[in-house]
Amino acid sequence: MSDHDLLEEVLDSARQVAPDALSVDDIDRMIGVALSGESRGEPEVEVETSPERGRTVMVLAIAATVLLSIGAGWMLRDRDLGSDDSAVASSSPDLATEARDEGAAQTAPDDSVALREELADPAQPAPTEAIEAVAANVTHTHARLPSGDQIVSTSDAELSLLSVSEHRRVAVLQGAVLFDVTPLQEAESFTVVSSDLEVHVRGTVFSVSHAGEVRVFEGRVEVTRGDQRWSVSAGESFRDERLVEQVDDGPLAREGQAAAARREARAEEVEVAQVAETVTETVTETATQTPSSARPSRPRPARRARTPRVESLAQIRARIRGGDLSGALSQVDLACRLGCAPGYRRVRADALRGLGRFEEAASAYDALSDPHARYQAARVRFGPLADLEGAVTSLSAVPLSSPYAERALGLKVRALTRLEREAEARAAARVYLGRFPDGGLREFMESIVE
Amino acid sequence: MELVPYKNTDVAPDRLDLLEAVREGDKKALATLLRELLPSVRRWLFRLLGPRPDLDDATQDALIALTKALPRFQGNSKVETFAHTVTVRVAYRYYKKRDREEPLTLVPPAPETIDPESVAINREALRRLHRCLERLPDKKRIAFVLCAVEGMSPAEAARIEGVTSVVMRARLSSARKEVTRRLSADPYVQALVERKARSRASRRGGQR
Spatial separation of the C-alpha atoms in residues A303 and A273, rounded to whole Å: 9
Measure B178 CA to nearest chain A CA, in Å.
11
Portion of chain A with pLDDT greater than 90, in percent = 2
Q: Write down the pLDDT at residue A96.
A: 33
In three-state secondary structure terms, B171 is helix
Residue B171 has pLDDT above 90, yes or no: yes
Q: Where are the alpha helices (DSSP H) in A290-338?
A: 313-321, 325-335
Confidence class for position A281, pLDDT limits 50, 70, 90:
low
Spatial separation of the C-alpha atoms in residues B208 and B205, rounded to whole Å: 5
The larger pLDDT score, comparing residue A241 to residue A426, is at A426
In three-state secondary structure terms, A420 is coil
Measure B208 CA to nearest chain A CA, in Å.
24
Residues B18 and B85 grouped into a single domain: yes
Q: Write down the pLDDT at residue B27.
A: 86
Task: Give phi and psi for A139, each to the nearest 5.
Answer: -65, 145
Question: Is residue B43, in this structure, part of any structural domain at all?
Answer: yes
**A294 at the B interface (CB within 8 A)?**
no
Q: Which residues of A touch B180 (CB under 8 A)?
A: 3-4, 6-7
pTM, to two decimals = 0.40
- Asked if B96's CB is within 8 angstroms of A123's CB, the reply is yes
| Across A132-141, A182-191, B102-111, B120-129, least confident range | A132-141
Question: Is residue B108, in this structure, part of any structural domain at all?
Answer: no
Q: Which long-range contacts (CB under 8 A, 24 or more apart) does B7-10 make?
A: B7/B74, B7/B75, B7/B76, B8/B75, B9/B75, B9/B76, B10/B75, B10/B76, B10/B77, B10/B78, B10/B81
- Going along chain A from its start, the domains and CATH numbers come out as 94-139 (no CATH), 141-258 (2.60.120.1440), 312-449 (1.25.40.10)
- Asked if A45's CB is within 8 angstroms of B35's CB, the reply is no
Residues B81 and B125 grouped into a single domain: no
Spatial separation of the C-alpha atoms in residues B14 and B31, rounded to whole Å: 16
Residue B7 has pLDDT above 50, yes or no: no
Give the one of A34, A46, A193 whose C-beta lies nearest to B64's C-beta: A34
User: What ipTM does this complex have?
Assistant: 0.81
Residues B208 and B117 grouped into a single domain: yes
- Which of A5, A9, A10 to mutate: most B Cβ within 10 Å? A10
The CATH number linked to B77 is 1.10.1740.10
- Residue in chain A closest to B46 (alpha carbons) equals A19
Which residue from A399, A39, A425, A2 is spatially nearest to A224, judged by alpha carbons?
Answer: A399
Q: Write down the pLDDT at residue A58.
A: 55
**A4 at the B interface (CB within 8 A)?**
yes
Classify residue A165 by its DSSP letter: S
Residues B121 and B78 grouped into a single domain: no
Q: Write down the pLDDT at residue A227.
A: 77
Residue B180 has pLDDT above 70, yes or no: yes
Q: Which domain holds residue B21?
A: 7-101
Mean pLDDT of A257-266: 73
Give the one of B55, B86, B176 whose C-beta lies nearest to A19's C-beta: B55
CB neighbours (10 Å) of residue B113?
5
Alpha carbon separation from A34 to A28, A171, B201 (Å, rounded): 10, 45, 47
Residues B66 and B128 grouped into a single domain: no
Spatial separation of the C-alpha atoms in residues B22 and A418, rounded to whole Å: 100
Residue A125 has pLDDT above 50, yes or no: no
Confirm if B144 and B179 have CB atoms less than 8 A apart: yes
- Find residues 49-108 of chain A whose CB sits inside 8 Å of chain B: 49-50, 53
- Which of A12, A17, A26 to mutate: most B Cβ within 10 Å? A17
Confidence class for position A309, pLDDT limits 50, 70, 90:
low
The larger pLDDT score, comparing residue A247 to residue A17, is at A17
Portion of chain A with pLDDT greater than 70, in percent = 63
Give the mean pLDDT of chain A. 70
The CATH number linked to B118 is 1.10.10.10
Residues B31 and B53 grouped into a single domain: yes
| A398 Cβ contact partners less than 8 Å away, ≥ 6 residues apart | A371, A374, A375, A378, A404, A405, A408
- Find residues 373-402 of chain A whose CB sits inside 8 Å of chain B: none
Q: Write down the pLDDT at residue A128.
A: 31
User: Among residues B69, B101, B133, which one ends one of the domains?
Assistant: B101
Which residue from A406, A404, A403, A429 is spatially nearest to A416, judged by alpha carbons?
Answer: A429
In three-state secondary structure terms, A197 is strand
Give the one of B68, B162, B180 whose C-beta lies nearest to A3's C-beta: B180
The larger pLDDT score, comparing residue A299 to residue A31, is at A31
Cβ-Cβ contacts under 8 Å between A and B: the total is 144
Domain total for chain B? Answer: 2
- Asked if A26's CB is within 8 angstroms of B183's CB, the reply is no
Residues B20 and B79 grouped into a single domain: yes
> In this predicted model, what pLDDT tens digit does every residue of A317-352 receive, in sequence order?
888 878 888 888 888 888 777 567 777 888 888 888
Spatial separation of the C-alpha atoms in residues A375 and A384, rounded to whole Å: 14
Residue A82 has pLDDT above 50, yes or no: no
